[in-house]
Chain A
Amino acid sequence: MTQGRRVDRQLVILVITLLGGLLGGLLGGSIWTVALWQWVLMLLGGTVIGTGVAFFLLTADRPEAGRWSPQPERPAAPRSPEPPRPSWPAVPTPPASQTNRTRPAAQIGDRSEPEAYPPTESARITLPLPDGSAPPSNGTASRQWWAETPSAAAPSDRREPSALRPGPAPPPSSYDVESALIAQCPRCGEFRLDVSHVARAYAFRCRNESCGNSWSWTPGTPWPPVVVRRNLPGGPAPGKAEIERH
């Protein structure tokens, strides 16, 4: 579980426990006949103690199931997004909070952004993947609802891919990079990709102007074979201006 989601969960549990403690105190006051000050004391004490115990029990660290032992070494400290380094050419880095929340995720064919290579380090989407063993079930805390097909829509091969709304995407520093799959165009090795959902699969389009390859990938299956090709025909070859610059 990622750090961001854990904090949200803890907050919810704490509020619920606080309310539960309060309710318990009120019930107690209604069962036993006590003086007002005793009732208030009972209410407050029960709330505080109950909340404290619940907080301790529910938020202690537990090892996650299914991880290979020994644990791979994690980065020593949470990293805040680094200031962008000069790149070819320099591009402004959007604040991390904006990257996936306020802007609709790019769909295939979205060319509104200026192309720049290489992209800055914080320009990425990090998507949690299903474990691949079974379709996600409703009602569990790990349900990935954005990957599900709405029950009202009939399955169709001609259905338009839904726009990607990854919800509260974790900041790049918070996922385990050592168990991440980094997407790369199979035809040319490009990293700048457009991505969207089709059912349980992802649809990609390469943003290399000389490539434009499209493919899909389903979590749980191997990534397609990759050949890195940086001089595909069709794009502008280094022309006179480039020669003079170099």
Chain B
Amino acid sequence: MYDGMYRQPVSRPDPGCIIILLDRSDSMKAPWAGTGASLAEGAALVLNNILLDLCITATKEVNAPVRHYFDVGVFGYGARVTTPDEGVESAFGGPLAGRGLVPLPELANNPLAVREEPSVDQMSVSAKIPIWVEPVRGYRTPMCEAIAVAGGHVFDWADAHPNSFPPIVINITDGMVTDSPYDGVALSEWVTRLTAIETRDGPTLFFNVFLSPTQAPEIIFPTNPAGLPAPGPDLFAMSSPLPHPMVENARADGLDVRPGARGLAFNVGRSTLLKILQIGTRVPDRSF
């Protein structure tokens, strides 16, 4: 299916692009089972950890600058902080507030804060880590608008980086879309528009992670939508198939990934969310 695609390693001449779409709807206030925190707090914790992981990967030596391996964006949809209403905005705070795609070295040097945070898996002790995203929730789920906003950034980025690994867009949500159709276009069509943006290495990848407040069985990288509760089948249809490097990453992490698996994780817990994001952002790195 992806013959000859998704092989370009990320490097400083050809960095990658990672965009997270983060649900900030009111339902994210629900407690995340087994974590002692809400879905919004848990998602922000995981996001900050994955951003830290990216910075660590790009750190090579004492007194050497963090390498520009990625441009990174996080867009929240639902409640907005800049204006008290519903919409889509950059989820970065502090020095990066309002910024779209941020080069990784700049991200590393400009956290919102550095503070003690609980560990994601609750197995290890808490640690002081940099924070870039704070939990926010309210209003509804304008997922179409989020994709429309992200698509503009993805288009400009792909135009400027034709040789790079294709953009990776990961949507984290706990509910159903509430703004479809947006601007007269249904959610599925917005996703089609987004994934039509491509580099020479292939089309944009769109992955989905569905959070559940209850401890329901996790479904990770399914090959068909059968048995998925709503909105699982719709998310399955919108999710890109996993490209080969990510299939290898997943198998290396002990996951059973079959041919044709989609980039969808359903009813995931907090530590699984981190694992999914790690798999989804670890691209070929032979030319680092």
Residues of A within 8 A of B (CB): 231, 237-240, 243, 246
Contacts and interface: CB of A to CB of B under 8 A. Distances in A.
A31 to B, nearest CB: 87
6 contacts: A231-B61, A237-B63, A237-B64, A238-B65, A243-B65, A243-B105
Nearest to B12: A246
B68 interface: yes
A239 B121 CA distance: 38
Nearest to A244: B68
Interface in B64-119: 64-65, 67-68, 105
Nearest to B63: A237
Contacts of B65: 238-240, 243
Contacts of A239: 65
Contacts of A237: 63-64
Contacts of B68: 243
B13 interface: yes
Of B64, B65, B67, B105, the most chain A CB neighbours within 10 A belong to B65
A243 B69 CA distance: 10
A238 B60 CA distance: 13
A239 B65 CA distance: 8
B105 A246 contact: no
Contacts of A243: 12, 65, 67-68, 105
Summarize B's interface: helix, strand, loop or mixed: loop
A110 to B, nearest CB: 32
Nearest to B103: A243
Nearest to A246: B12
Interface in B6-24: 12-13
A240 B109 CA distance: 14
B104 to A, nearest CB: 11
Contacts of A240: 65
A240 B64 CA distance: 11
A54 to B, nearest CB: 66
Contacts of B67: 243
B107 to A, nearest CB: 14
A237 B65 CA distance: 9
B162 to A, nearest CB: 17
Nearest to B105: A243
A150 B265 CA distance: 85
Nearest to A233: B63
Contacts of A246: 12-13
Given A237-B63, A240-B65, 12 more contacts: A231-B61, A237-B64, A238-B64, A238-B65, A239-B65, A243-B12, A243-B65, A243-B67, A243-B68, A243-B105, A246-B12, A246-B13
A231 B63 CA distance: 12
Contacts of B12: 243, 246
Contacts of A238: 64-65
A237 B67 CA distance: 13
A94 to B, nearest CB: 33
Contacts of B13: 246
B41 to A, nearest CB: 35
A240 B61 CA distance: 16
Q: Please list the 8 inter-chain residue pairs (A to B) with the smallest Cβ-Cβ separation, ordered nearest first.
A: A246-B12, A246-B13, A243-B68, A243-B65, A243-B12, A237-B64, A243-B105, A237-B63
A229 to B, nearest CB: 13
A246 B13 CA distance: 5
Contacts of B105: 243
Contacts of B63: 237
A246 to B, nearest CB: 4
A243 B104 CA distance: 12
B158 to A, nearest CB: 19
Nearest to A239: B65
A92 to B, nearest CB: 27
B9 to A, nearest CB: 14
B100 to A, nearest CB: 19
A189 to B, nearest CB: 19
B130 to A, nearest CB: 20
- B12, B13, B64, B68 — which one has the most chain A CB atoms within 10 A of its CB? B12
Nearest to B65: A243
B16 to A, nearest CB: 15
A111 to B, nearest CB: 27
Contacts of B61: 231
Contacts of A231: 61
